[in-house]
């Protein structure tokens, strides 16, 4: 992937990887504003209708991995295998 970015920078300059970003922002900003605004409106209306509190959600408890738990190391094991070759 870095080779692709490097080739794009060589061919189109530093601004090459960002071509089309302005048009994407112009397209997505109003769409996201409408989507998120309508979501909040519908959420509040549903909360009023079903008598639910409409406040911040309680924080999730922080999950602390145990020393014997292999799950936190699992994503890195594949990366380590690649670098070891």
Whether the model clears a pTM of 0.85, i.e. scores above it, the answer is: no
* End-to-end Cα distance, the chain: 19
Residues in contact with 27: Cβ distance below 8 Å, sequence separation at least 6, in sequence order? none
**pLDDT for 68 beyond 90:** no
Query: Any idea which residue has 């309680």 for tokens?
Result: 58
Cα–chain-centroid distance for residue 29?
16
Where is pLDDT greater, at 15 or 60?
15
Q: Look at residue 36 in the predicted model and tell me its pLDDT.
A: 92
**pLDDT for 16 beyond 90:** no
Q: Is there a contact between 45 and 37 (Cβ–Cβ < 8 Å)?
A: no
């Amino acid at each position: 992937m870095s080779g692709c970015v490097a080739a794009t920078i060589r061919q189109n300059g530093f601004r090459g990887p960002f071509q089309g970003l302005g048009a994407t922002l112009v397209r997505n900003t109003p769409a996201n504003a409408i989507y998120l605004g309508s979501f909040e409106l519908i959420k509040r209306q549903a909360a009023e209708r079903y008598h639910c509190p409409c406040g911040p959600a309680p924080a999730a408890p922080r999950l602390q991995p145990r020393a014997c738990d292999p799950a936190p190391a699992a994503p890195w094991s594949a990366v380590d295998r690649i670098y070891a070759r």
